[in-house]
Structure 1
Amino acid sequence: MKRIFLGLLLASGTLACAQTNSKLINVAEVRRIESVLASDSMQGRRAGTPGSDKAAAFIAAEFKKAGLQPVANGSYLQSFSVFKPKFLGLEATVNGAAFDSRNVIVVTTQPEVALTQASGYETVTVSAGDDLSGKVMGALQGGKNAVVLIDTSFAKTFPRLQSLKRQLFQGTPNVVFMLTADKPSAYSVKATHSFEETRMANVVGILPGKAKKAEQVIFSGHYDHLGLGKAVNGDSIYNGANDDAAGTTAVIMLANHFKKQNNNERTLVFAAFTAEEVGGFGATYFSRQFDPAKVAAMFNIEMIGTESKWGKNSAYITGFEKTDMGAILQRNLEGTGFTFHPDPYPDQQLFYRSDNATLARLGVPAHTISTSKMDSEKFYHTVDDEVETLDMDNMAAIIEAIAKSSASIISGKDSPSRVKQEDLKR
């Protein structure tokens, strides 16, 4: 909600003296975009709500104005459905005998799934001592119907796989998990569900490359937030100015900057994700539309509206040690007075908690850039995360630093090292 008049007066004063501090990024534009995204009219931008739709339309209009190409079919909206299943019933047999339904979990978006060993499903076996998480995610992301036979040594962990059913994408293949001591010679499973469907959309714009057009560099942030909640001092709108209207503002500003430069050898993809706050569904769906081998780098931008623990002209990079991308960015910023640091909050596992994680797990040098003091960020996930609490001058400096530091990557001169699978294990 709106702050008192004095706060607005001070903010406008700051704006007046800040506009000359950035050569590449116009502070007035930063404030304009940020103020629209975090306005009360957006109703907190919760995924799947009219406020979220309004924000998506605004971002799409900004991408069009910047001169980006639509992602597909003339639209900047990358639409998809998320299904929330309600379990209705399940029957199973193994080797001709009834099988405990508690030892079967069916992940599907179909009202009825019926299968036997002759149904043509791919079989995945998880033996004692195997990497359960890795094999489960491999089956889910493999794009094929699969039966995953899990050894009973994982009996305590098995019920947790129910969480995989909470919300699913349209077109998700059927994956059946069975907890069994031996590989059955015959089995049958019949499961029924009903579904609640929610339509969502990322906003994506493309700036085609030249000599290396087939390779992509992604700039992203999430535009959703918490929406409406319990009123605090009469305010029930969680505006999410820093989280993450700030990152989305940066993406729009970078789109305008690179379009004006018009010298990118690699294709640039600008993405505003939905549903980060409710499970990262937007980034997950987005990542499935790309060949990870062709994504040279991902700059995910999250909460850059406040000073970092080192003060102004600084930010940190999550997963800094997992690739040499951070070193490349630092080298490109030598002499500018701006510094990128490694993530100072490793205990919070931020590398795995933001929208970079899905592509990073596929080997892409995908990192999140942030300034948020995660051990003491005063307005994080509160109704007071509003435009008046942000430092627009510093935001512009951070966006400019991202533009300058990414130059050698978008030109194709530098290609950051890939994330190794062993580096993803916590």
Structure 2
Amino acid sequence: MKKILSLLAIVIILGCGGQKNIIETNPDSIKPLVGNTEEQATRTASIVNSEVHNNISLEVIKSSLEYIASDELEGRNTGSEGIEKAAVFIENQFKTNNIKPYFETYRDSFNIKEIIGYNVIGYLEGNDPELKNEFVILGAHYDHIGTAKAVNGDVIANGANDDASGTVAVLEWAKYFSKTKSNKRSILFTLFSAEEMGLKGSEHLAKRLKKENLDLYTMINFEMIGVPRAEHEIMAYISGYEKSNMAEKLNAYGSAEMIGFFPKAKSFNLFMRSDNYPFYDAFKVPAHAISTFDFTNFDYYHHVDDEADKMDFNHMTNFINKMIPALEGMINAPTKVIKMDNE
């Protein structure tokens, strides 16, 4: 009788959607990607994504962003007490999710005159004996400008869209890959400081990694993804679109047209204005920024009202989840198929 009741209970649970919950709460049971073809890797990545991606929840994204963009962090100006709190938050996220430091500690420190800045770097080794020697970098900057012109007595420039949104995305992908262990190549999750001072943090790290002869395949920097574009526009755009075939490949891996061309990107010089550029400059490999901010859909760039309550968390959650199969396809491709256009 007990066996019959147990079986009935299982049937009832599955009938009520319990199977989804079982999958979501057991991501570690999913096996790493196998196979030698790009098609198989992409197909397997899509299966992994469908079973695990719901662990990346709106509530967690909202909670993380609300803290990083809170008044307590005082606008995260490089060298401030506020950005130190942000760095500790990022380090704790890495520790909690078994992301190791790439250097002796998570911090890559540098000086700008009397100011000490810190990039925060997490490292996840690839699961393929050969491809793990190649690296993909996923990055965003966690600093902001500190204060801005006062509005109703508020002077704190919280930087929710710029770039707490990208920072949270990178942390969520770090958590995802640490659970699924679905990365054949090694990944560096890089959160940059001093972006607002002229890309100083990313410039320092790119030169350091180049000096150490890191085998860098690709780098993507995620810049201001907290608000959606107009309905008739593609979800996101990539800077330096014409410099490589990255957009084409990411869309193919993700089985959707997610990443497109932004006509004004060149006139605004966006390729050279974000933390991707020092890696392109040092390594001469595909290194781009991806954004959903196009200068028409958000009025609070470097403004005190760039706050968490202005973010569209449904859009952020959707974007972060949709990018997973695209990132997995890139990270697990058997050869370096994303190339500069002049190759």
Shorter-chain TM band: 0.7 to 0.9
> Any gaps of 5 or more consecutive residues in structure 2?
1-52
* Cross-structure match for 1:203: 120
Aligned equivalent of 2:219, options 298, 304, 310: 298
- Per-residue deviation at 1:54? 1.0
Aligned equivalent of 2:279, options 337, 355, 359: 359
TM-score (norm 2): 0.79
Partner of 1:290: helix, strand, or coil? Answer: helix
Q: Percent identity?
A: 36
TM-score (norm 1): 0.64
Aligned equivalent of 1:80, options 110, 135, 138: 110
Distance 1:329 1:297, change over 3 A: same
* Cross-structure match for 1:349: 269
Q: Please list the CA deviations of residues 190-231 of structure 1 after superposition, one character each: whole Å capped at 9, or x if unmatched.
A: xxxxxxx21110111000113212110011000000102332
- Per-residue deviation at 1:239? 0.3
Supply the AA of the counterpart residue of 1:201. Y
- Per-residue deviation at 1:24? 5.1
Separation in structure 2 between the aligned mates of residue 54 and residue 330 of structure 1, nearest angstrom: 36
Q: Please list the CA deviations of residues 106-163 of structure 1 after superposition, one character each: whole Å capped at 9, or x if unmatched.
A: xxxxxxxxxxxxxxxxxxxxxxxxxxxxxxxxxxxxxxxxxxxxxxxxxxxxxxxxxx
Question: Does residue 41 of structure 2 align to residue 25 of structure 1?
Answer: no
- Per-residue deviation at 1:298? 0.9
Larger Rg: 1
Separation in structure 1 between the aligned mates of residue 187 and residue 107 of structure 2, nearest angstrom: 17
> Any gaps of 5 or more consecutive residues in structure 1?
1-21, 84-196
- Per-residue deviation at 1:342? 1.4
Separation in structure 1 between the aligned mates of residue 254 and residue 231 of structure 2, nearest angstrom: 17
Separation in structure 2 between the aligned mates of residue 328 and residue 230 of structure 1, nearest angstrom: 42
Distance 1:312 1:417, change over 3 A: closer
Supply the AA of the counterpart residue of 1:205. G
Question: Does residue 98 of structure 2 align to residue 67 of structure 1?
Answer: yes
* Cross-structure match for 1:413: 334
* Cross-structure match for 2:311: 390
Supply the AA of the counterpart residue of 1:349. N
Supply the AA of the counterpart residue of 1:203. V
Q: Please list the CA deviations of residues 73-129 of structure 1 after superposition, one character each: whole Å capped at 9, or x if unmatched.
A: 2x211112222xxxxxxxxxxxxxxxxxxxxxxxxxxxxxxxxxxxxxxxxxxxxxx
Supply the AA of the counterpart residue of 1:358. P
Separation in structure 2 between the aligned mates of residue 55 and residue 261 of structure 1, nearest angstrom: 26
Separation in structure 2 between the aligned mates of residue 418 and residue 288 of structure 1, nearest angstrom: 21
Supply the AA of the counterpart residue of 2:155. S
* Cross-structure match for 2:247: 326
Is contact 1:24-1:400 (8 Å) kept? no
Partner of 1:406: helix, strand, or coil? Answer: helix
- Per-residue deviation at 1:325? 1.1
Q: Please list the CA deviations of residues 292-312 of structure 1 after superposition, one character each: whole Å capped at 9, or x if unmatched.
A: 771111111000000124468
Partner of 1:213: helix, strand, or coil? Answer: helix
Is contact 2:143-2:195 (8 Å) kept? yes
Q: Please list the CA deviations of residues 278-323 of structure 1 after superposition, one character each: whole Å capped at 9, or x if unmatched.
A: 1111100111122377111111100000012446871111111111
Question: Does residue 189 of structure 2 align to residue 270 of structure 1?
Answer: yes
* Cross-structure match for 1:45: 76
What's the Cα RMSD here?
2.0
Is contact 1:202-1:282 (8 Å) kept? yes
* Cross-structure match for 1:245: 164
